[in-house]
Structure 1
């Protein structure tokens, strides 16, 4: 068995399990330490990362894989994510790094602009009370430790500046 075949097996096992909602199988593909980054959120814990999955899958209507690229210890998937939201279809690239046969980091790349109105609607105003990360308004289920709405999987606090998109200076 070649290394890139093993990389493919691990990445596809994670990808397929994630979109089936099979959290235990997806978590089994993730290493410790682990890092997840996207334009909307970031996590350093595999279980915390996948805790947002059930809410997110409520809006996913399908996934069409466009491309799979595999190397010895990395992979990139490009796919269209179809949602039952105003976003509609989101073109997404997902880059994986593996360490000792498990996924050690995932970088999700997509245009977060169409998601901003939904994130803003779920994010308490910065000028409200100091305890804004614990929004318990109807329809939300915040996870106080991560600042994530576990119903939808979106951050309930401001976007992590380390992974937020920046304006093009040109």
Structure 2
């Protein structure tokens, strides 16, 4: 029998795996119509805005080591290390908190030390 916590785990894992594969359509399918993303570097109030830079981000990821997964009926937290190809960033220690409603992710709050990313962000040409 599938419990609400199992459903939360399945949704969050599907999002996490799709995101780090660079599969924006699969990641978007896990997100609710009303969605908000917050991180130290960016915020977005919709799935398209959140996933817009996914290809660029995934291109600098060597691997992701999942450290911990915590699940409840309407929320989850993942703790993981993102190993990047950028020497000044190296390994990004990350916590990601999710809120869900009706089996879809409504809110993601990404927590990490943004300090090493400031020089990287300044080097990206702005439109």
TM-score bracket for the superposition, by shorter chain length: over 0.9
1:120 to 102, 119, 122: 122
How many residue pairs match? The answer is 125
Quote the residue 1:58 is aligned against: 59
Quote the residue 1:101 is aligned against: 103
**Aligned counterparts of 1:99 and 1:52: Cα–Cα separation in 2:** 25
2:90 to 63, 74, 88: 88
**Where do 4+ consecutive residues of structure 1 move more than 3 Å?**
none
After the TM superposition, which residues 1-170 of structure 1 pair with which residues of structure 2 at under 5 Å, given as runs?
1-85=2-86, 86-122=88-124, 135=126, 142=127
**Between Structure 1 and Structure 2, which shows a larger proportion of helix residues?**
2
Deviations 1:23-42 (CA, angstroms, capped at 9, x unpaired): 11100000021000000000
SS in 2 for 1:113: coil
Deviation at 1:122, TM superposition (A): 3.1
- Greater Cα radius of gyration, structure 1 or 2: 1
**Aligned counterparts of 1:121 and 1:52: Cα–Cα separation in 2:** 15
> TM-score under structure 2 normalisation?
0.95
Deviations 1:8-60 (CA, angstroms, capped at 9, x unpaired): 00000000011111111100000021000000000001022111100111111
SS in 1 for 2:40: coil
SS in 2 for 1:118: helix
SS in 2 for 1:26: helix
**Aligned counterparts of 2:11 and 2:69: Cα–Cα separation in 1:** 13
SS in 2 for 1:24: helix
